[in-house]
């Protein structure tokens, strides 16, 4: 590629893909796409536009990889007079691309099998933030006096220990309704896709592996609480606190709301009485206990199975309680709604047979007792389709959970006739949604009621489960559209998950007390999503004000006529993360990661990450990775290549663009010996301030411009960017934003494992931090003796200043290799 073309591409396309014309945009899934998945972007224009073709362009080379004709026109939406669906599903070549259509281009995006890696685990950041009792995000405790029983015939006023669980959203209420559904969905995600979940946190939610997948830690946290909410046979509780909680933004450990027990001294715990309970001047419409009892039963039955390998005694305990909870639902059929005191907003759950169906189905799976199967079938036939599917509206959480997992469990039975019946039920709900979806250019047929993103997630899950059971791909494009809606292919071009991806447009000002207090964001939280304009205008206290100005107005030109979404901290109707919606997304994202692993024939990712970069490979393996970096010095070339060849080691070499230009013969020698060749920036930029890693010293434009120039020099040396997808930042210094920008380019940041000091081999005697080769060698052996070096990435500089005569890459490096080999370590480059 000529230099002229290179700068043209930079100007037109890389700067976060700014649109070429202000009145046209292309909406994409900002996370990217699996190679074999459905891939459809949406073109929108404020003016009538005749679009006859579009092209897919390689970001790194500027090459048009494929041109497509006849995009599907989609009509108008809001101020957008023209829309087109841009289907490029049959393009499966991994790489980093952008779409050019009309007079605009899309943001760039990767196509590879790793785009969803770690995304399900990422959601757990929000779940840990929502913990009640001990909160690991704040490293402090809250609501430690909970609580005092209300509505029990004999125990009202008594204290009950119900600490733990999760806060429901930005308020601090806790509901069995949503918490039990969240627990079940987390368990289902782990049960279906265990190989996709990592272990980076301990049971308390602090960083540090404990030998148990993080999602199982979260499941255990939830089930501990649910167990406390059912302290004895026949004693089920539905709710902690009520809307008196809504008294302004404050951190949970500073919650001093007085429910009549003293400021911050305990909250009411609502017994499942099966009768209407207080709603200020109103009463809720509770008709029974079954909706809650069924949720207890399904969680305890499945929880006993999931936790058995980790907590066998606890698993046995909750397993024994499953039927007792289920029997309470049989005794008192009907829905158990939540209660409020001073406002009209509650979870108005009307259905309950779905909860009892799932409870019976899980008890049948656990016991094989046919009576549970018979009862599950009877309950399932009472509600063949979850009523919101295909409807235009519903009350808040009226039909909850938003998908019936009991249908899926019955569709899995070995009875062909029975399986066909419940598959048909699943398909009917999907078809009703599809009939609405085809009216939208985004193929989105969800009613825009409060928490519409939770409904989107539910339908997304149902579509995938149906497709997996049947092999029927009729609704696969709608499934992809629902997926992409959550990550940017929507009218606003924003992800609906906070900081996912960090490189994209996402809710920057969610309705959050953490953000309001300046202590962090609701990382990983799925926000409510768009609501009908009529709902937004009817709610109390919502507005588009933000921390700075009115950020909610930024999307004004994109608002469809009937619905709105605002990225504003004071819009709790569209921009508040919810605990249950977030938990429900773990299944689908983990399924996408598993799908990518299957397409790539790869094993579970056991690497250790720091700020988005890999800093250690699988710590269960007695292997070490040698990496070498350089900007302008190559004095270590001869001894390093000689030593590696002598010991049969392949290393990773990461050089700046300037190095590639200056030392072409060294590059060819390394290539000839079969070593990995990677990038280290072009100009050896310092990305962040030394005194504050989070303070960037480069813009995204500068980062991408430098990175592309680096890869151009590598391409001139015969190394394609697809052959060099891992990258060591200059100065071995970066932050999570840099790693996210790199990931969006299809590049994975790696770095050395801290602690051994091999990276100090550049220091010279005049420096305060000087380390001699002997000191470095001794430190490595000290770390090895104390904790081992399994998975360590060991960095050595390819050249050093002349004033350092004590070159570690010479004899000390070979001595270290020999010693570690004798201790049983192998040297590999696993990327």
> Is 438 a residue whose pLDDT tops 80?
yes
pLDDT score of 137: 97
* 491 in Cβ contact with 78 (< 8 Å): yes
Phi, psi values for residue 130, rounded to 5°? -85, 0
Q: From CA 184, how far away is CA 584, in angstroms rounded? A: 9
Q: Domain ranges in the chain?
A: 3-111, 608-827
Residues in CB range of 42: below 8 A, 6 or more apart: 26, 27, 74, 83, 84, 85, 86, 441, 442, 489
Read off the pLDDT of each residue in 459-472 and give the average, rounded to a whole number: 98
DSSP 458: H
**27-39 tens-digit pLDDT:** 999 999 999 999 9
Structure tokens at 177: 């309704």
Q: What is the β-pairing status of strands 282-283 and 278-279?
A: antiparallel
Contact 621, 133 (CB under 8 A): no
- Distance CA(282)–CA(343), nearest Å, equals 10
Q: What is the pLDDT of residue 542?
A: 84
Q: Are 53 and 71 in contact (CB under 8 A)?
A: yes
Question: By three-state DSSP, how is residue 320 classified?
Answer: helix
What order of strands is seen across the sheet that includes strand 72-73? 24-27, 40-45, 82-87, 72-73
Burial of 253 (0-12, 13-18, 19+ CB in 10 A): middle
* Distant-in-sequence contacts of 685-690, Cβ < 8 A, 24+ apart: 685/730, 686/730, 686/731, 686/733, 687/729, 687/730, 687/731, 687/733, 687/734, 687/735, 687/738, 688/733, 688/734, 688/735, 688/738, 690/733
In the numeric block, the tokens 């039975």 are attached to 413
Residue 111 near residue 141, CB atoms below 8 Å: no
Q: Using 50, 70 and 90 to split pLDDT, how confident is the model at 539?
A: confident
Pairing of strands 726-727, 748-749: parallel
Q: What CA–CA distance (Å, rounded) separates 592 from 192?
A: 12
What the block records as the tokens of 417 is 């006739």
What's the CA gap between 422 and 437, in Å, rounded? 23
* Among 110, 161, 408, residue whose Cα is nearest residue 267: 161
**Which position has the token pair 């890693």?**
693
Tokens of 375: 């009862």
Q: So what's the pLDDT on residue 773?
A: 96
How far apart are alpha carbons 240 and 809 in whole angstroms? Answer: 62
User: Cβ–Cβ contacts within 10 Å for residue 681, how many?
Assistant: 25
Strands 726-727 and 268-271, bridge-based pairing: unpaired
Interval 228-261: pLDDT, tens: 999 999 999 999 999 999 989 999 999 999 999 9
720-756 tens-digit pLDDT? 999 999 999 999 999 999 999 999 999 999 999 999 9
Residue 605, SS3 per DSSP: coil
3-state secondary structure of 792: strand
Cα within 13 Å of Cα(370), Cβ side: 1
Residue 548 tokens read as 């700075």
Does position 9 have pLDDT exceeding 70, yes or no? Answer: no
Q: What is the dihedral of CA 515, 554, 127, 486, to 10 degrees?
A: -170
The answer, yes or no, to whether residue 551 has pLDDT greater than 80, is no
Residues 6+ positions from 264 with CB-CB distance below 8 Å: 145, 255, 256, 257, 258
Percent of the chain, pLDDT > 70? 97
Question: Taking the alpha carbons of 812, 814, 816, 818 in that order, is the dihedral positive or negative?
Answer: negative
The torsion angles phi and psi of 27, rounded to 5 degrees, stand at -95, 135
Q: Would you state the structure tokens that stand for residue 206, as one six-digit string?
A: 């602090």
How confident is the model at residue 829, as a pLDDT?
Answer: 97
Q: What is the mean pLDDT of residues 547-565?
A: 86
Report the interhelical angle of 637-646 vs 811-822 (nearest 10°): 20
Residue 551: other Cβ atoms inside 10 A:
20
User: Could you say which DSSP state residue 245 is in?
Assistant: G
Confidence of residue 530 (pLDDT cuts 50, 70, 90): very high
**Average pLDDT of 628-646?**
97
**Residue 496 phi/psi, 5° resolution?**
-100, 5
Q: Stretch 645-659: mean pLDDT, rounded?
A: 97
- Report the C-alpha gap between 223 and 217 in whole angstroms: 10
Give the tokens for residue 401. 């959970």
Angstrom distance (rounded) from CA 287 to CA 548? 46
Place of tokens 């499934």: 479
Q: Are 272 and 333 in contact (CB under 8 A)?
A: no
How many CB atoms within 10 Å of residue 799? Answer: 23
Instruction: Check whether 343 has a pLDDT greater than 90.
Output: no
Average pLDDT over residues 286-304: 98
According to CATH, the superfamily of the domain at 3-111 is Immunoglobulins (2.60.40.10)
pTM: 0.94
- pLDDT score for 64: 98
**Segment 395-409 mean pLDDT:** 97
What mean pLDDT is reported for the chain? 95
For 513-534, give the DSSP string. Answer: HHHHHTS---TTPBB---EEHH
pLDDT in tens, 675-730: 999 999 999 999 999 999 999 999 999 999 999 999 999 999 999 999 999 999 99
Q: Residue 19 has what pLDDT? A: 44
In this prediction, residues 660-682 reach a mean pLDDT of 97
- Determine the Cα–Cα distance for residues 152 and 289; give it in Å rounded to an integer: 13
Calpha distance 351→463 (Å, rounded):
22
| Residue 543: per-residue pLDDT | 81
Coil, helix or strand at residue 797: strand
The pLDDT of residue 547 is above 80: no
Count of other CB atoms within 10 angstroms of residue 21: 12
Decide: residue 565, CB within 10 A, 0-12 exposed, 13-18 middle, 19+ buried: buried
Q: What is the pLDDT of residue 6?
A: 39
* Cα 108 versus chain centre, distance: 20
- At 20, the pLDDT band (50, 70, 90 cuts) reads very low
**248 CB-near residues (< 8 Å, 6+ apart):** none
Percent of the chain with pLDDT over 90: 94
d(CA 64, CA 498): 33
Closest listed residue to residue 396, CA positions, set 573, 179, 583: 573
Of 440, 539, 562, 524, the residue nearest 205 (C-alpha): 524
Mean per-residue pLDDT, 139-155: 97
Q: How far is 218 from 221, CA to CA, in rounded Å?
A: 5
Token digits for 183?
């627990």
**124: helix, strand or coil:** helix
Residue 553's pLDDT band, with cuts at 50, 70 and 90, is confident
State yes or no: pLDDT of 527 exceeds 60.
yes
Residue 2, number of CB atoms within 10 A of its CB? 8
CA atoms of 426 and 411, how far apart (whole Å) = 9
| Helix, strand, coil share (%) of the chain residues, nearest 5 | 40, 15, 45
CA angle in degrees (0–180, nearest 5) for 254-258-260 = 155
> What's the number of CA atoms in the CB half-sphere (13 Å) around residue 64?
9
The dihedral over CA atoms of 532, 534, 573, 282, expressed in degrees to the nearest 10, equals -120
CATH class, domain 608-827, is: alpha beta
Nearest to 53 by CA among 82, 87, 79, 94: 87
Whether residue 816 has pLDDT greater than 70: yes
């Amino acid at each position: 590629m000529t230099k002229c073309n290179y700068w043209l591409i930079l100007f037109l396309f890389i700067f976060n893909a700014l649109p070429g014309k202000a009145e046209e945009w292309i909406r994409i899934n900002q996370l990217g796409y699996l190679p074999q998945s459905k891939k459809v972007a949406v073109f929108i224009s404020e003016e009538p536009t005749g679009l006859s073709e579009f092209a897919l362009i390689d970001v790194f080379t500027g090459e048009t990889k494929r041109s497509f004709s006849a995009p599907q026109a989609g009509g108008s939406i809001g101020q957008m007079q023209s829309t087109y669906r841009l289907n490029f599903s049959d393009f499966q070549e991994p790489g980093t691309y952008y779409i050019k259509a009309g007079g605009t281009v899309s943001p760039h995006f990767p196509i590879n099998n790793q785009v969803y890696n770690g995304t399900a685990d990422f959601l757990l950041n929000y779940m840990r933030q929502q913990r009640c009792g001990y909160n690991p995000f704040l490293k402090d405790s809250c609501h430690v006096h909970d609580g005092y029983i209300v509505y029990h015939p004999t125990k009202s006023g008594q204290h009950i220990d119900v600490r733990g669980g999760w806060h429901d959203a930005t308020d601090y209420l806790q509901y069995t309704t949503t918490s039990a559904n969240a627990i079940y969905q987390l368990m289902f995600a782990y049960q279906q896709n265990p190989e996709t979940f990592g272990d980076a946190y301990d049971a308390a939610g602090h960083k540090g592996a404990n030998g148990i997948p993080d999602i199982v830690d979260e499941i255990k946290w939830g089930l501990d609480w649910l167990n406390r909410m059912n302290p004895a046979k026949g004693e089920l509780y539905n709710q902690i606190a009520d809307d008196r909680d809504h008294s302004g933004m404050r951190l949970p450990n500073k919650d001093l709301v007085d429910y009549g027990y003293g400021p911050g001294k305990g909250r009411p715990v609502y017994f499942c009485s099966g009768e209407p309970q207080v709603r200020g001047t109103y009463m809720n419409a509770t008709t029974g206990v079954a909706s809650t009892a069924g949720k207890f039963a399904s969680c305890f039955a499945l929880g006993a199975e999931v936790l058995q390998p980790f907590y066998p005694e606890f698993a046995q305990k909750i397993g024994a309680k499953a039927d007792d909870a289920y029997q309470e639902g049989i005794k008192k059929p009907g829905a158990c709604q939540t209660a409020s005191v001073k406002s009209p907003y509650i979870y108005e759950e009307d259905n309950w047979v779905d909860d009892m169906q799932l409870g019976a189905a899980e008890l049948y799976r656990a016991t094989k007792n046919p009576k549970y199967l018979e009862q599950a079938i009877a309950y399932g036939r009472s509600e063949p389709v979850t009523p919101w599917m295909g409807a235009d509206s519903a009350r808040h959480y009226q039909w909850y959970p938003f998908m019936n997992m009991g249908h899926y469990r019955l569709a899995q039975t070995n009875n062909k006739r029975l399986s066909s019946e419940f598959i048909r039920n699943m398909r009917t709900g999907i078809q009703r949604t599809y009939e609405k979806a085809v009216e939208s250019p985004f193929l989105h047929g969800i009613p825009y009621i409060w928490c519409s993103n939770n409904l989107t997630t539910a339908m997304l899950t149902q579509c995938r489960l149906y497709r997996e059971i049947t092999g029927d791909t009729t609704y696969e494009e709608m499934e992809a559209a629902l997926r992409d809606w959550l990550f940017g292919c929507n009218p606003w071009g924003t992800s609906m998950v906070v900081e996912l991806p960090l490189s994209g447009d996402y809710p920057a000002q969610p309705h959050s007390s953490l953000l309001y207090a300046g202590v962090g964001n609701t990382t990983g939280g799925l926000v409510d999503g768009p609501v009908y304009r009529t709902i937004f205008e009817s709610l109390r206290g919502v507005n588009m004000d933000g921390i700075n100005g009115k950020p909610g107005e930024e999307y004004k030109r994109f608002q469809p006529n009937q619905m709105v979404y605002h990225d504003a901290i004071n819009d709790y109707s569209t921009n508040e993360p919810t605990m249950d919606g977030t938990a429900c997304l773990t299944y689908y994202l983990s399924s996408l990661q598993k799908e990518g692993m299957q397409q790539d024939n790869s094993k579970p990712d056991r690497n250790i990450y720091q700020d988005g970069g890999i800093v250690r490979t699988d710590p269960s393996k007695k292997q070490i990775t040698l990496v070498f970096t350089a900007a302008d010095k190559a004095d270590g070339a001869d001894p390093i290549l000689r030593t590696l060849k002598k010991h049969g080691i392949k290393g990773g070499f990461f050089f700046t663009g300037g190095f590639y230009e200056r030392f072409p013969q060294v590059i060819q020698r390394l290539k000839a010996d079969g070593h990995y060749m990677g990038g280290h920036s072009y100009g050896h930029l310092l990305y962040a301030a030394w005194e504050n890693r989070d303070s960037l010293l480069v813009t995204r434009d500068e980062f991408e411009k430098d990175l592309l120039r680096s890869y151009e020099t590598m391409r001139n040396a015969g190394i394609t960017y697809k052959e060099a997808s891992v990258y060591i930042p200059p100065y071995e210094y970066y932050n999570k934003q840099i790693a996210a920008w790199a990931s969006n380019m299809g590049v994975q940041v790696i770095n050395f494992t801290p602690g051994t000091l091999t990276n100090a081999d550049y220091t010279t005697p005049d420096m305060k931090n000087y380390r001699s080769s002997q000191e470095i060698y001794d430190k490595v052996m000290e770390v090895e003796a104390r904790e081992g070096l399994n998975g360590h990435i060991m960095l050595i500089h390819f050249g050093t200043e002349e004033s350092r005569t004590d070159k570690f890459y010479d004899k000390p490096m070979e001595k270290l290799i020999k010693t570690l080999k004798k201790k049983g370590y192998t040297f590999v480059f696993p990327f």
